[in-house]
Amino acid sequence: MKRLPMRVYFDYNATTPLLPEVVEAVAGALREEFGNPSSVHAFGQRAKAALDAARSSVAALLNADPSEIVFTSGGTESDNFAIRGAAEALEAAGRRHLIASAIEHEAVLNTCKALARRGWRTSLLPVDRTGIVDPDRLRAVIDRETAVVSVMHANNEIGTIQPIAELAVIAHEHGALMHTDAVQSVGKIPVDVRALGVDLLSLSAHKFNGPKGAGAVWIRRGTRMLPFMTGGKQERNRRAGTENVPAIVGLGVAARAAAAKLEAEAQRLAALRDRFERAVLERVPDAFVNGAPSPRVPNTSNISFDRVEAESLLIALDLEGVAVSTGSACSSGTLEPSHVLRAMGLPPHRAQSSLRFSFGVYSTEEDVDYVAALLPGLVDKLRRLTRKAAV
């Protein structure tokens, strides 16, 4: 009988499996907490208490106050709300300029583009070859009309961590608000909103073992924001609509679980990632790790395999039971080289031959060794096929 291929999931930056305690909590809330949190009666108050418990857990993970947490439907909505809500509140004061980094997620980039179509001036900050924004580049473009500076904490494709605290100081010197998309760092490394010095921060539950469709924006107390959704008075008038109680309960449990094992899990994942990179670079000729090795979230490794089409290698790995992604996974269906790697100045052939391996709670040394042992043969086979096709 043919042995079934091993199943290895190395795509935790795309999404993560739910922890058993999260599944239990979501199921429990679906069964028991059906009341509307805005209702005055006991059913409603139970649901409201469940939301408040989740709010406290998310706040504790960020060193924030629970009153500063606004629940949303996830990272994309949080980014939209943070940028649009702040920008529109500052517009009346004559601030119609937005700044973002060139390697932001589409949730930020396309929000800036949408505002640009409505007359906002926008500037994109370049990154260096390692994927880091130089604070001097922000100093060069920021002015008295800048409303919001949005720079992600950790990048989804290469994992590099930006100097957010330094950028926030510059934003504030010019009277602008600082937003950071922390979707890929929350739950992986300590994220402390006070230490970062930002005004707005986005997070998403499904990136740290919570359910899809739940996230939050942290809004520093006193920050003026226009509500993103208009309607009822939920979330202190900031985000109308009956809350997704079960998913938010799941977000709270995932936040508590992440906080409890943050340091230990970060160390474990960094060791796995280093073991993986060492093995791949040793065994596969012409393989290169993209992005600054440090500072970087511990779970992300982006590797180019010269003379290999990334999509072909992704499919070959999938046939062996291994799930990874290319830079364009978020907008799959396109073979455009990743805008992140292009912004770093990688030549197109290197950007087109890159795969992202991202690890998480269920990743083991056995998984890493299995994939590192598979890669040399698969890469060699694809390179030989390409050579043959060229003659």
Q: Which residues are catalytic?
A: 330
Residue nearest to ligand PLP (CB): 75
Place of tokens 């998403």: 204
> Residue 39 or 130: which CB sits closer to ligand PLP?
130
Asked if 157 and 186 touch (Cβ cutoff 8 Å), the reply is no
Helix (H) / strand (E) element for 12: namely none
80 phi and psi angles, rounded to 5 deg: -60, -50
Helix (H) / strand (E) element for 62: namely helix 42-62
Least distance between ligand PLP and beta carbon 255 (Å): 14
Cα–Cα dist 204/289, whole Å: 27
Asked if 338 and 323 touch (Cβ cutoff 8 Å), the reply is no
Least distance between ligand PLP and beta carbon 372 (Å): 25
Least distance between ligand PLP and beta carbon 205 (Å): 8
Determine whether 334 is exposed, middle or buried from the number of CB atoms within 10 Å of its CB (0-12, 13-18, 19+).
Answer: exposed
Rg (CA), the chain: 22
> Residue 310 or 375: which CB sits closer to ligand PLP?
310
> Residue 200 or 379: which CB sits closer to ligand PLP?
200
> Residue 157 or 277: which CB sits closer to ligand PLP?
157
Cα–Cα dist 310/303, whole Å: 10
Asked if 288 and 310 touch (Cβ cutoff 8 Å), the reply is no
- DSSP assignment of 182-202 equals -TTTBTTB---HHHHT-SEEE
> Residue 336 or 369: which CB sits closer to ligand PLP?
336
Positions that interact with ligand PLP (CB under 6 A):
74-76, 79, 105, 107, 152, 156, 181, 183-184, 204, 206, 215, 330
Least distance between ligand PLP and beta carbon 383 (Å): 30
Least distance between ligand PLP and beta carbon 107 (Å): 4
Tokens representing 166 are: 């330094």
Least distance between ligand PLP and beta carbon 330 (Å): 5
Instruction: Assign 3-state DSSP to the chain and report helix, strand, coil percentages, each to 5.
Output: 45, 15, 40
> Residue 75 or 252: which CB sits closer to ligand PLP?
75
Asked if 297 and 326 touch (Cβ cutoff 8 Å), the reply is no
